[in-house]
Structure 1
Amino acid sequence: MENTHNDDCCALENGERKSHHSEKHKKNLVSRLNRIEGQIRGIKGLIEKDTYCDDIITQISAVQSALNSVGKLLLESHLKSCVIERIQDGDEEVLDELLVTIQRMMKK
């Protein structure tokens, strides 16, 4: 059964699934991504300045950790909202989708 209500967390909009995050949650994610973006620019600057490789690798590791943290937050909210909602609507295909997503995250 497809979910078509725009106020639902995983509503279909123009044939595409959309998430619905609270403004607070969205602000938190965007803020984290902005910091990560700044870290990436910083790494680029380190490379341009011929900074010692080990120092650059340390910064890259910090960015990877920060991205993993954002991914975990998104996965948690996805499980607590979209996945539960779709299962309650009788859409058990979401479990296969979730398994693929978790496998993708674990490869990193």
Structure 2
Amino acid sequence: MTVDEEATGAVLNRLRRAQGQLNGVIAMIEAGRDCKDVVTQLAAVSRALDRAGFKIVASGMRQCLATADGDTPPMTEAELEKLFLTLA
């Protein structure tokens, strides 16, 4: 599956944001910050990763259904459902 250029930029921004948030969580744990604060930031990291994954799937879905590269048949509905469920 390929991701269009516009989606790639958005996905990379989300992943970089998640990376920064995760670094922040690590620093919070090392500093002995309150558990509530750590969990709140961890949830934000998780949401950022989920959004990046959904963006990748959404942008590639048309291509997966509509085209095949000659060697690979288009994804079936069941395969797409499984792909979505891996993110859930």
Output the TM-score relative to the length of structure 1.
0.67
Rg larger in structure: 1
Unaligned runs of 5+ in 2: none
- Count of aligned pairs: 84
Identity among equivalent pairs (%) = 25
Specify which of 68, 76, 91 is matched with residue 50 of structure 2.
68
Specify which of 56, 59, 84 is matched with residue 77 of structure 1.
59
Alpha-carbon RMSD: 1.8
Deviations 1:6-30 (A, max 9, x none): xxxx4xxxxxxxx1522x3212211
Deviation above 6 Å: which 4+ runs of structure 1?
none
One-letter amino acid of the counterpart of residue 50, structure 1 = G
Specify which structure has the higher proportion of helix: 2
Q: Secondary structure at the match of 2:67?
A: helix
Specify which of 55, 77, 87 is matched with residue 95 of structure 1.
77
Give 1:102 deviation, angstroms: 2.0
Unaligned runs of 5+ in 1: 1-9, 11-18
Is 1:41 equivalent to 2:23 in the alignment?
yes
